[in-house]
Amino acid sequence: MDTADRETFFTKAHSPFPEPTLDEKIKADEFLSASNHLAQFFGILGTIFTPVQSDISGNVKKLGKFIEENPEKVVYVNDIILLEAGVTQSISIDALLWLKRALEFTMLFIDGIVCDTKNGTPNEDLRPLCLQAYEKTLKKYHGWMVQQIFNLVSRACPSRRDLLASLALGETDMESVVVAQMEEVLVNLKKNVTIINQLYAQYNLDTEVKV
């Protein structure tokens, strides 16, 4: 389906996640721009999700500052890891790690909506998909208190119909377009997350410290 001429939340900012290079490098500026735009997805979910949006935006700002301070050294996200891998308690390594985790959560949540739609089993209640994505990504990095807070926050998920309508920017009869664009966004987002995971594993930078 060609959805390029139908504007939705996913296309209005013209900030897609970058296609990695053949040697699996991710353009840093494009990655941060796309991440910053995707953070606004949580604003659409509702004001109770604002802390999640702020957390993503905050980590994007930290990484943007690092790039500004190292303009000749950082072109790709990979460069951040290469430069900071040996730095004790690197702010940039930590920011990228938490940004990646938030993107993984968002990715699985959106993927759940897409899969349910394609399988012909869409559920108006999005809370189960939200909790499933949380279980597989962020939960193990959160202490008991944060887990309880997220459990409460998840109850405020909008219905599937309302979310898709908001993502369609008020246009009607756009469900299939929105879902198709969700699927398009996931293609490079998954590639980006996979590469970052591989780099963190390669340099033994991942941590399961809880917050």
Per-residue pLDDT, 4? 56
3-state helix, strand, coil in the chain (%, to 5): 65, 0, 30
DSSP state of 61: H
Task: Please indicate, yes or no, whether the overall pTM of this predicted structure exceeds 0.85.
Answer: yes
27: Cβ contacts below 8 Å, ≥ 6 apart: 18, 75, 76, 77
Residue 170: Cβ within 10 Å count: 7
Q: What is the pLDDT of residues 139-173, one digit of tens each?
A: 999 999 999 999 999 999 999 999 999 999 989 99
pLDDT at 208: 84
Tokens of 55: 């957390």
125 forms beta bridges with: 159
- Higher-pLDDT residue of 104 and 4 is 104
Distance (Å) of CA 117 to CA 111, 129, 134, 145, 164: 10, 12, 20, 33, 12
The CB density around residue 204, as the number of other CB atoms within 10 Å, is 8
Burial class from Cβ neighbours inside 10 Å (0-12, 13-18, 19+) for residue 57 reads: middle
For the domain made up of 24-202, the CATH class stated in words is: mainly alpha
Percent of the chain with pLDDT over 90: 91
